[in-house]
Structure 1
Amino acid sequence: MKLTVVGGGSTYTPELVDGFARLRDTLPIEELVLVDPAADRLELVGGLARRIFARQGHPGRIVTTGDLDRGVEGADAVLLQLRVGGQAARERDETWPLECGCVGQETTGAGGLAKALRTVPVVLDIAERVRRTNPDAWIIDFTNPVGIVTRALLGAGHKAVGLCNVAIGLQRKFAAHLGVAPAEVHLDHVGLNHLTWETGVRLGGPAGEDVLPKLLADHGELIAADLRLPRPVLDRLGVVPSYYLRYYYAHDEVVRELGTKPSRAAEVAAMERELLEMYAEPALDEKPALLARRGGAFYSEAAVDLAASLLGDGGSPYQVVNTRNGGTLPFLPADAVIEVQAAVGPDGAVPLPVPTVDPLYAGLMANVTAYEDLALDAALRGGRDRVFRALLSHPLIGQYAYAEALTDRLLAHNREHLAWA
């Protein structure tokens, strides 16, 4: 089995490699190819990756290359984890929206749109090159904004599934609260990427007992603190929203906070410099503890599980993924990409049935889906008016004066990445 990671020079990669090494019985990789144009960085990450495999006795071969076509040729699955423009672009995404009184964040709001505009054309080019060399390969997208990117891939006819680590992170935390193994916890997870709610927490599988009320009663304070939302909000909702919902439920509070501290991008950039220094140490043969603060917790477990199921070599029968809606959520278009529990196998991901969704969540999902429609249109066809329409439609913006000012700033900060600008 050959698996290729595009963006393999990321400081995330040792987390992924550690999972491949530990879970080799689930996903028996013979060749792992790390593709990245940043040669110096790639060699540091690749060297550590080989040492991790050696330490854990993994027999697989690790190849590093800057040649995308060579890297994806013959791959059974291609995992995308790239960041167009690097941390410098992320820093801008997180700062210029604040000038207009809007959330500055890399996956939602105006910053998320900027990232989508930069990313979608690049990802579609990569996917076409994968299709030319190996049309049977699965594409697993971990590149944000996952929902929009996955929708672009599916719309172009690619074999693609989107992956996010929010659900697996909550599953692990809930399992710890309940004192059970993570595999025993099945989430009734519904929404769009970075716009999700846990409406049930079941023990043993989709038909298991729902222990969410008990979980909130016994551990609500800890869960609320982790989400940085007031406990009474969780009690009134009766569900657990993802931490990204704080951008919607406490927008003005978040904007004030973001204006008083360094951006997350600046923090991550500093961590990455330190991590790369660690990776250069020949004696290091395991992922460093600092990597846990970088983000992407349990990413490797989720990626191994998904790849194993898609390639027919194992994996959990049900997984939270980003896939086509079809008729799962009847209030959304069939071609929308939703994030839900799905049965995953060699033929792809089939969403499990979802009970009727409370209008409180359905309305916000429908609004953000409409924004994603317009965002993808802007990413595929370009044009200032399309950018403005997407921004105006977003529930975190929604005022024409803000949308005008944000459009100007988005274009000014991203011209080098937008062929049409």
Structure 2
Amino acid sequence: MTRNQLKMVTIGGGSSYTPELIEGYIKRQDQLPIKEIWLVDIPAGEKKLNIVGEMARRMVKKSGLDWKIITTLDRRAALKDADFVSTQFRVGLMAARVKDERIPGSYGFLGQETNGAGGIFKAFRTVPVILDIVKDMKELCPDAWLINFTNPSGMITEAIQHYGKWPRVIGLCNVPVMAMMTEPQTIGRELKDLTYKFAGIDHFHWHRVWDKTGKEVTMEIIDKMYEGKDAGLPKNIFEINFFKEQLEQMKMIPCGYHRYYYRQEEMLNHSLEEFDNGATRAQEVIKIEHELFKLYQDPNLNYKPKQLAERGGAHYSDAACESIASIYADKRTHMVVSTLNNGAIPDLPSDHTVEVSAQIGAAGAIPLTFGPFQPAERGWIQLMKNMELVIDKAAVTGDYGLALQAFIMNPLIPSGQKAKDLLDEMLVANKEFLPQFADKIDELIAQGVQVHDEVARNIDETLAQQNLEL
């Protein structure tokens, strides 16, 4: 391709989010001279890929564009000469997420997609795959930009930069986007009249806000949160207020995921209640996704349906399109992204990946300095970041001892024999997707370790049946 005929590639193209991605490109048709959009998936996702591909073609046709939509299972063919590559895949598909939530729940621990044991195992499955993609990109499209919103986004972006040695990457999350979409309304302002500064790591950041006169309005927004005003909480997080006294002391707004740490008792109880009722978030999402793909098969549907907003990751795709447009046109847009720290947070080394406000342009992400945290937040961010580094290293090396260290470090996993037993059971449950741990998993199976939760044991068959119904 050339700069005037862009080749866009999405790995995980059969995702239910893809229509939002296509919509984002269509909205920016005057900014991005797209020639081809390649949607890539694996054989297990081929049926959904074809459904989404046809819908994407209808959306493009409705918009009067001549973009070519190509669906393929051949990742290398897609990556050849790509200009921008976005990643939105889930290793192990939704069955893996169910296991990430159900198995910890069976031990009385939190089951959640990107936090606790579930988040650790999502990284274990995903890091080797993303590094294999980077290896292909070095050969096939060495000048391409990689826009990652595969979760856990921060850890995956860290692995891309540290182990993949790939600097042309930006990690994205929808949580800051949702905050900036909804918070201004709570205080009767518009986003264009406010200045936001975010700092932390993915799913563990804080932010402050100022108006156009330079007056800080962070506490004004916090006050509105306690009047029941919507502050953009993602659909997948149980809503319970933070302790107001804590927020008044820190004078910052935590992201929604901090609830798992600041209100651990209540969030755990809610998670276990869902588990007992056989209705974890993963099981809800499976129903939503099944309904979405039924809709997507409608030959008259040529726009993103409103039901997509019920998925927890709404707005990821639009953020990806904006980051691509900002890089391509050197727009220097303010966005919140995962990128190298480079001094933005003095409490962490400069070569660590952080999630911060940044200026996005032709050079990628230029992080904006946030400054040092107070002791409480400094302690949290240093613990959580170092835990991420341990998880990434374990994912790359297959070192069981490091995996155990990650479990012991994680604040949402009570350390002890049950934590080790949980680790062992989740290794066995994920055997197919953890070749780096193969020898240890074989040893555990020989010792009699097995998956005990009935739903987790049978979820693959359940999803296979749903796939047949599409």
TM-score normalized with structure 1 length: 0.94
Contact 2:88 2:148 in 1 (8 A): yes
Distance verdict in 2 for CA 1:224–1:355, change over 3 Å = farther
Which of 200, 216, 241 pairs up with 1:229? 241
- Shift of residue 134, structure 1, vs aligned partner: 1.0
Aligned counterpart, 1:10: 15
Which of 26, 34, 42 pairs up with 1:29? 34
Matches within 5 A, 1:285-300: 285-300=302-317
Aligned counterpart, 2:273: 260
1:90-118 per-residue CA deviation (whole Å, 9 max, x = no partner) reads 00101111233321111111111101010
Counterpart AA for 2:365: A
1:377-415 per-residue CA deviation (whole Å, 9 max, x = no partner) reads 110000321210111111222523343122212212111
Contact 2:346 2:371 in 1 (8 A): no
- Shift of residue 26, structure 1, vs aligned partner: 3.2
Q: Quote the Cα distance in structure 2 between the aligned partners of 1:276 and 1:229.
A: 34
Distance verdict in 2 for CA 1:294–1:127, change over 3 Å = same
Contact 1:93 1:114 in 2 (8 A): yes
- Shift of residue 224, structure 1, vs aligned partner: 7.7
- Shift of residue 231, structure 1, vs aligned partner: 6.0
- Shift of residue 167, structure 1, vs aligned partner: 0.5
Distance verdict in 2 for CA 1:77–1:248, change over 3 Å = same
Asked if 1:321 corresponds to 2:342, the answer is no
Distance verdict in 2 for CA 1:346–1:240, change over 3 Å = same
Which of 300, 303, 314 pairs up with 1:283? 300
Task: Name the SS for the 2:273 alignment partner.
Answer: coil
Q: Quote the Cα distance in structure 1 between the aligned partners of 2:317 and 2:388.
A: 27
Contact 2:9 2:38 in 1 (8 A): yes
Number of residue pairs matched? 417
Contact 1:33 1:62 in 2 (8 A): yes
Aligned counterpart, 1:202: 210
Contact 2:17 2:317 in 1 (8 A): no
TM-score normalized with structure 2 length: 0.84
Q: What 5-or-longer segments of structure 2 have no aligned partner?
A: 1-5, 234-238, 439-470
Which of 52, 58, 69 pairs up with 1:62? 69
Asked if 1:121 corresponds to 2:128, the answer is yes
Contact 1:202 1:208 in 2 (8 A): yes
Contact 2:116 2:413 in 1 (8 A): yes
Q: Quote the Cα distance in structure 1 between the aligned partners of 2:70 and 2:396.
A: 33
Asked if 1:384 corresponds to 2:392, the answer is no
Task: Name the SS for the 1:228 alignment partner.
Answer: coil
Q: Quote the Cα distance in structure 2 between the aligned partners of 1:238 and 1:220.
A: 15
Asked if 1:408 corresponds to 2:424, the answer is yes
Q: What 5-or-longer segments of structure 1 have no aligned partner?
A: none
1:288-321 per-residue CA deviation (whole Å, 9 max, x = no partner) reads 111110122222331122111222x154532110
1:6-32 per-residue CA deviation (whole Å, 9 max, x = no partner) reads 000001111111111122223332221
Counterpart AA for 1:136: D
Distance verdict in 2 for CA 1:253–1:130, change over 3 Å = same
Aligned counterpart, 2:112: 105
Q: Quote the Cα distance in structure 1 between the aligned partners of 2:28 and 2:240.
A: 33
Task: Name the SS for the 1:371 alignment partner.
Answer: helix
- Shift of residue 185, structure 1, vs aligned partner: 3.4
Contact 1:371 1:390 in 2 (8 A): yes
Aligned counterpart, 1:154: 161
Asked if 1:169 corresponds to 2:169, the answer is no
Which of 85, 90, 94 pairs up with 2:92? 85
1:42-78 per-residue CA deviation (whole Å, 9 max, x = no partner) reads 1100111111122233332211111101111111110
Counterpart AA for 1:177: T
Q: Quote the Cα distance in structure 1 between the aligned partners of 2:332 and 2:65.
A: 22
Task: Name the SS for the 2:133 alignment partner.
Answer: helix
Q: Quote the Cα distance in structure 1 between the aligned partners of 2:266 and 2:189.
A: 36
Which of 120, 135, 138 pairs up with 2:145? 138
Q: Which consecutive aligned stretches of 4+ in structure 1 deviate over 6 angstroms post-superposition?
A: none
The answer to which of 334-343 and 264-273 deviates more is 334-343
Q: Quote the Cα distance in structure 1 between the aligned partners of 2:101 and 2:430.
A: 13
Which of 194, 199, 204 pairs up with 1:190? 199
Distance verdict in 2 for CA 1:45–1:185, change over 3 Å = farther
Which of 344, 347, 351 pairs up with 1:335? 351
Counterpart AA for 2:257: Y
Aligned counterpart, 1:73: 80
- Shift of residue 331, structure 1, vs aligned partner: 2.1
Contact 2:199 2:345 in 1 (8 A): no
Contact 1:20 1:300 in 2 (8 A): no
**CA RMSD, aligned part only?**
1.9
Distance verdict in 2 for CA 1:183–1:67, change over 3 Å = farther
Contact 2:206 2:253 in 1 (8 A): yes
1:323-343 per-residue CA deviation (whole Å, 9 max, x = no partner) reads 111322222233221100112
Contact 2:59 2:302 in 1 (8 A): yes
Counterpart AA for 2:175: V
Contact 2:226 2:241 in 1 (8 A): no
